[in-house]
Amino acid sequence: AQSVAQPEDQVNVAEGNPLTVKCTYSVSGNPYLFWYVQYPNRGLQFLLKYITGDNLVKGSYGFEAEFNKSQTSFHLKKPSALVSDSALYFCAVRDNNFNKFYFGSGTKLNVKP
């Protein structure tokens, strides 16, 4: 069965420090992976995606993600966190057989000044 796991409900980091938000997935075939961010009382916004090619994907607002096929992971990273990065982050995977999407449970990122 297709699934996405975000093992951390919450990640706390100090402003200026690097951040990592973890995501692991289970999907048949080649994975199509996405990261989205949700600010309070807003819909989700796209950050980045991995379809094929380079394992390091760069996205919006300085975020990047590393695809690791052997570990079935797609961790979101940023070299230097900002207070304004505080939000809820979702990892998602597309089911290649049925055009369906599976989202993780979300990770709340808290960046403290």
Partner 1 sequence: EAQVTQNPRYLITVTGKKLTVTCSQNMNHEYMSWYRQDPGLGLRQIYYSMNVEVTDKGDVPEGYKVSRKEKRNFPLILESPSPNQTSLYFCASSYGGAYNEQFFGPGTRLTVL
Give the footprint of partner 1 on this chain (CB under 8 A).
Answer: 4, 6, 32, 34, 36, 41-46, 49, 51, 90, 92, 94, 98-106
Specify the residue, 6 or 24, whose C-beta has the smaller distance to partner 1: 6
- Pair 75, 89: CB distance under 8 Å: no
Least separation, in Å, of the C-beta of 99 and partner 1? 4
Query: 42 Cβ partners below 8 Å, 6+ apart?
Result: none
Separation between Cα atoms, residue 103 and residue 6, nearest integer Å = 9
For the chain, the 3-state helix, strand and coil shares in percent, each to the nearest 5, are 5, 55, 40
Any bridge partners for residue 75, and if so which?
Answer: 66
Least separation, in Å, of the C-beta of 42 and partner 1? 7
Specify the residue, 3 or 80, whose C-beta has the smaller distance to partner 1: 3
Least separation, in Å, of the C-beta of 16 and partner 1? 29
Specify the residue, 30 or 71, whose C-beta has the smaller distance to partner 1: 30
